[in-house]
């Protein structure tokens, strides 16, 4: 089979599967072959070819018997960030401390994807425990951006973005704690979505910061992203934070356009340090929406300046608590058992965690400690409340909010890794969304002077993902940025 078939959008290849013009086995084998050819991208950290091909054979057999006519995904190859548990599959969170951990059960979101017809071919690279913005904090080494292999694909879901952008699989799942889906989507020229907190189950997803983590998806088009999200959304009794609210058909209203809708532009997101190429692209997006009949309204999110600081207090505090379980006793990597309990804890965590994870554990432990809890953690939670109120007020004036996804395009591997503050500031436009628990997505909206993708971010009311996708599709329908691919970048 021609590898060009892997370059089709997910929605197009699902149609071919239903028409029996291609088989799942062919697609999975082509995906595995492409991963081998592009292994220098370091997008995948492990593969499960035998299980994937067996699942493909089952789908093909069911299709031949007419049992898959309503299958959402039809048996297409996908990938999972190495943070999703899959029973019997090694899941490491790209950390040495989980180097020998094999999952005893499957995450709900992954199982929903499988039930909808997705076939996972392997686990994808990421920043260790999802802590990072460049995928350089992985024990497997950094994933690379298919648009320029000297650059980062973004983080923490860098492998998830790179795999879709390079045409290795049709869609992937990632997680987003402060921008870890939207930033890689922007850097790699993809549509990527973080849903409302509680829309997708977190059961079976290794925790970083439990009040911020959310499962989302990557695709090459809004329709692809809508299909992936449709597959994984829904209430789950195994997750106490999962919200029991109806899931709309995300694809049914995609073509309704934006005429009559109000799109808010927050002045706080157009700041010093914003790339001129990015700002120019966003201004052109605004003009496009105006031509389509949307009303552009200025809005204010006055506490945006405090979001980064509040985020890195709350996220690290929760990480400190969540990562306390990695002690060398119950599972994962262990050292110095013969020296006694405390030396074993110390040696295991010293050798097992990377520098960024240690940095965040130390910071989180500090802000939770006696004497500092009120000064930092409680104050950060108050800022979070103010940010939520900012969004509530803004959405009383508009239907969606439009911003840049990131202040710059993909930076070079090694460029920011030694300066944590500069790395953290790459999340300046994305963390507020997580603190407020609202949905957000990134959509390709142009290229900079170095032919690197630029992304725009759309933010919406809680549990109104359908409107976000509709607004994104309206822009996509009138532009061609989503049809520019890394494998033919010379044509840009």
Residues 6+ apart with CB under 8 A from 399: 261, 262, 263, 460, 461, 467, 471
**Residue in 11, 24, 71, 81 annotated catalytic:** 81
C-alpha span between 41 and 43 (Å, rounded): 5
What is the end-to-end Cα distance of the chain in Å, rounded?
27
Q: Which pair of tokens denotes residue 310? A: 């509040």
Q: Which pair of tokens denotes residue 373? A: 């809890």
Cα–Cα distances in angstroms (integers) from residue 3 to residues 34, 35, 269, 415, 487, in the given order: 7, 11, 41, 33, 11
> Which residues does residue 447 pair with via DSSP β-bridges, in sequence order?
453
Residues 6+ apart with CB under 8 A from 232: 109, 112, 113, 116, 173, 200, 215, 217
C-alpha span between 6 and 10 (Å, rounded): 9
Q: Which pair of tokens denotes residue 73? A: 């995904």
Q: Which pair of tokens denotes residue 14? A: 């699902």
Q: What's the order of all strands across the beta sheet hosting 172-175?
A: 44-47, 118-124, 76-81, 172-175, 215-219, 191-194, 440-447, 453-460, 400-404, 262-266, 295-299
C-alpha span between 63 and 119 (Å, rounded): 15
**Residue in 95, 133, 180, 186 annotated catalytic:** 180
HSE, CB side, 13 Å, CA atoms: give it for residue 58: 11
Active site residue 81: yes
What are the backbone dihedrals phi and psi of residue 80, each rounded to the nearest 5 degrees, phi first?
-120, 135
C-alpha span between 458 and 467 (Å, rounded): 10
- Cis ω on the peptide bond leading into residue 156 (within 30° of 0)? yes
C-alpha span between 133 and 184 (Å, rounded): 8
**Residue in 156, 160, 242, 432 annotated catalytic:** 156
The H-or-E segment that residue 77 falls in is: strand 76-81
Active site residue 412: no
For the annotated catalytic residues, the residue numbers are 81, 156, 180
């Amino acid at each position: 089979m021609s590898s060009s078939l892997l370059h089709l959008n997910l929605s197009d290849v699902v149609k071919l599967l239903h028409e029996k013009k291609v088989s799942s086995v062919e697609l999975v084998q082509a995906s595995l072959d492409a991963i081998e050819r592009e292994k220098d991208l370091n997008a995948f950290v492990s593969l499960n070819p035998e299980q994937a091909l067996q699942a493909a054979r089952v789908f093909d057999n069911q299709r031949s018997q007419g049992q898959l006519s309503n299958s959402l995904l039809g048996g297409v190859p996908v990938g999972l960030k190495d943070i999703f548990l899959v029973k019997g599959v090694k899941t490491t969170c790209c950390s040495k401390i989980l180097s020998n951990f094999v999952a005893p059960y499957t995450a709900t979101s992954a199982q929903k994807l499988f039930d909808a017809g997705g076939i996972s071919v392997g686990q994808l690279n990421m920043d260790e425990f999802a802590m990072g913005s460049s995928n350089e904090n992985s024990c497997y080494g950094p994933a690379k951006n298919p648009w320029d292999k000297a650059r980062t694909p973004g983080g923490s879901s860098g492998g998830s973005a790179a795999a879709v952008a390079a045409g290795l699989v049709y869609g992937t799942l990632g997680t987003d704690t402060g921008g870890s889906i939207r930033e890689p989507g922007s850097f790699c020229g993809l549509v990527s979505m973080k849903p409302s907190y509680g829309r997708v189950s977190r059961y079976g997803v290794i925790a970083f910061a439990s009040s911020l983590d959310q499962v989302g998806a990557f695709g090459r088009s809004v329709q692809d992203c809508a299909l992936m999200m449709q597959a994984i959304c829904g209430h789950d009794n195994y997750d106490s934070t999962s919200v029991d609210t109806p899931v709309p058909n995300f694809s049914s209203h995609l073509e309704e356009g934006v005429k009559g809708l109000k799109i808010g532009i927050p002045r706080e997101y157009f700041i010093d340090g914003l790339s001129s190429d990015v700002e120019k692209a966003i201004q052109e997006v605004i003009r496009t929406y105006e031509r389509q009949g949307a009303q552009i309204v200025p809005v204010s999110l006055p506490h945006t300046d405090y979001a980064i600081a509040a985020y890195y207090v709350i996220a690290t505090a929760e990480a400190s608590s969540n990562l306390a379980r990695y002690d060398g006793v119950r599972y994962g990597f262990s050292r110095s058992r013969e020296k006694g309990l405390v030396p074993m804890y110390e040696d295991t965590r010293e050798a097992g965690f990377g520098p960024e994870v240690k940095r965040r554990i130390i910071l989180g432990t500090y802000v939770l400690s006696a004497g500092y809890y009120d000064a930092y953690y409680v104050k950060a939670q108050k800022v979070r409340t103010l940010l939520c109120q900012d969004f509530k007020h803004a959405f009383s004036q508009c239907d969606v909010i439009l911003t840049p996804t990131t202040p710059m395009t993909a930076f070079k591997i090694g460029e920011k890794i030694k300066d944590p503050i500069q790395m953290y500031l790459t999340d300046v436009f994305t963390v507020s969304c997580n603190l407020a628990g609202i949905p957000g997505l990134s959509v390709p909206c142009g290229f900079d002077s170095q032919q690197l993708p630029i992304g725009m971010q759309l933010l919406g009311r809680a549990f109104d993902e359908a409107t976000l996708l509709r607004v994104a599709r309206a822009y996509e329908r009138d532009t061609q940025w989503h049809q520019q691919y890394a494998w033919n970048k010379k044509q840009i």
